[in-house]
Amino acid sequence: MDINPDVQFSTINSIRNNAITNWYCDPWYNVVQALREQQHTISESKDVVLLSPWLYKTFEQGAIARHTDDGQLWTIDDKPVVARLADNVIGTNMLMLDFDGEVTVFQAKHVFATYTHLGYTSYSHMAPAKNHADCFRIILPLKQFVTAEQLVARRQAIYATFPGIDISCLSLARSFYLPSCPPERAQCAHIWDNDGQLFDVMDFQEEVRPVFASPVIAREFDKQKIVDSLKNIYLGHEPKWFNVAVAMAASGFTKADFREVTIGHLMHEKTEKQCDEKWKSAERRVARGKGMNVGYLINLCKEFGTWVPDIKKQQNQAHKEWRNASIQQLVKEKQNGSK
């Protein structure tokens, strides 16, 4: 077993950036040495460089590009950049565990004494707002690379095994500030490392999730109507596009339907390959019980003004309006006659 495995990660200059531009693959002990030599950045703000402990897809592998909030392509030197999104994560060979006041550094050192790791106190360590509790992170190089799917299936078991971990720290694409502290607590800042066995995610039990059962649109005419309505919308917004994929996957639509409403319509720039990758992600979301129903699609069409009421409903409404007008006319004529 390699006691000094390579670990892959990215650095991000700002949490507001969300673009993956720096890619690294270094031996574990090089990372340990670099962090120990750098020590904590003393700053009035914790807005320092972040570490993203994930291997991300490249554009050749179908990565989703970073977009601005208004749907414009985010570029650096006129080139698109990979977005820091869960859908872009391939997997990881190191975990970052975040502890935010539930466990002491002393306790964590004891619990993780058998594992190779590096730990460091975070910006909130010993802060009055945290009741002067210990806040820190532990980085664990892994025995073997794990895919995003393998980690997601086992992270609840990891949380249960090590109580006190922030249960969002193993969310895909989660990034973490490198060691930093405010000037008034610089004397409390602390970095340590430990040699031991490599942490193996595959040792933990895989979670079996119920398959999400969503009502399927029964009538083909309704499905086609929704497809036609969606094709009149340009979203240009990744999160909404993903929601469309989830709602379609949970409501009886096909991958071909999703391609049809996307390419040249919802997202002009997308390719079939990118649609297929997004569809796979949507199916995984649905399988985890986090689907959306067809109402989302209908409401989206109504929001963009592309939803046309059923002809029969239009006819019924027109008949109702004609009947009401006729009754009102008869009432007026009767009133005029009685005068």
Average pLDDT of the residues in 304-322: 59
| Token representation of residue 272 | 């079939």
* pTM: predicted TM-score of the whole model, two decimal places: 0.65
Tens digits of residue pLDDT in 140-163? 999 999 999 999 999 999 999 999
What is the sign of the dihedral through the CA atoms of 215, 216, 219 and 225? positive
Tens digits of residue pLDDT in 43-101? 988 778 899 999 999 999 988 888 776 667 888 888 898 988 888 999 999 999 999 98
| 3-state secondary structure at position 284 | helix
Banded pLDDT at 223 (limits 50, 70, 90):
confident
Give DSSP secondary structure letters for 90-103: EEEEEEEEEEESSS
- 273 vs 62: CA distance, rounded Å: 7
pLDDT at 209 over 80: no
Give DSSP secondary structure letters for 287-339: HTT----HHHHHHHHHHTT-PPPPHHHHHHHHHHHHHHHHHHHHHHHHHHHH-
Domain coordinates of the chain in residue numbers? 6-203, 220-303
**Residue 188 amino acid letter:** C
- 65 vs 237: CA distance, rounded Å: 11
| 3-state secondary structure at position 282 | helix
- 74 vs 70: CA distance, rounded Å: 10
